């Protein structure tokens, strides 16, 4: 079974979770340092490409709505001003149910797994392990 996007220009990925071609990644973090770190780490991966790097949840939602190619993976900072990572995750999960969503945070996280699951979040990582987080996410989605 394949999951198809509502946008016919977007590619389709296999139900196993592995993608064809490079994994297209969108990130949202209000920290310029974290965005640059993720940008650099993704650039070293031949199997991944950064599609969107947003400063806020609002910007990411706007960019995703206007983006013409499929974004496979979305990595969101949990604590951003305005639309938080969790709120953005819930909206993204509703609008783009095929997208894999991950949160990361600098805070100790004692969050409600039911809320995360309903928002479509697959896992929450610590910002202190950004490189490990990216490897875990991408290695799990690359064929």
The answer to whether the beta carbons of residues 56 and 80 sit under 8 Å apart is yes
Q: What are phi and psi of 142, to 5 degrees?
A: -100, 135
Which among 4, 17, 40, 29 is positioned nearest to 100, based on CA atoms?
Answer: 17
Token pair for 14: 């296999």
Helices (H), the chain: 32-43, 57-66, 85-95, 113-118, 130-139
Specify burial of residue 128 (Cβ count, 10 A radius: 0-12, 13-18, 19+): exposed
Residue 109 has what pLDDT?
60
Vertex 57, ends 56 and 60: CA angle to 5°?
90
Q: How far is CA 84 from CA 7, 79, 87, in A?
A: 26, 6, 5
Terminal-residue alpha carbon distance, the chain = 16
Report domain 22-81+103-117's class: alpha beta
Q: Of 108 and 96, which is predicted with more confidence? A: 96
- For the whole prediction, is pTM greater than 0.95? no
pLDDT in tens, 54-64: 999 999 999 99
The answer to whether the beta carbons of residues 93 and 99 sit under 8 Å apart is yes
Residue 37 has what pLDDT?
93
Average pLDDT of the segment spanning 92-100: 93
pLDDT in tens, 20-53: 678 999 999 999 999 999 999 999 999 899 999 9
Q: Of 127 and 19, which is predicted with more confidence? A: 127
Domain ranges (residues) in the chain: 22-81+103-117
Q: What is the residue-averaged pLDDT of the chain? A: 80
């Amino acid at each position: 079974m394949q999951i198809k996007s509502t946008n016919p220009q977007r590619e389709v990925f296999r139900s196993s979770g592995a993608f064809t071609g490079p994994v297209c990644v969108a990130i949202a973090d209000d920290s310029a340092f974290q965005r640059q770190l993720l940008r650099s780490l993704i650039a070293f991966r031949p199997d991944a490409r950064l599609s969107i790097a947003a400063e806020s949840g609002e910007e990411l939602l706007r960019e995703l709505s206007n983006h013409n190619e499929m974004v496979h993976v979305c990595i969101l900072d949990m604590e951003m001003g305005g639309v938080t990572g969790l709120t953005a995750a819930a909206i993204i999960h509703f609008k783009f149910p095929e997208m894999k969503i991950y949160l990361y945070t600098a805070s100790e996280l004692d969050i409600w797994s039911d809320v995360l699951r309903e928002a479509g979040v697959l896992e929450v990582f610590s910002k202190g392990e950004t490189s490990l987080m990216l490897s875990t996410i991408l290695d799990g989605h690359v064929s």
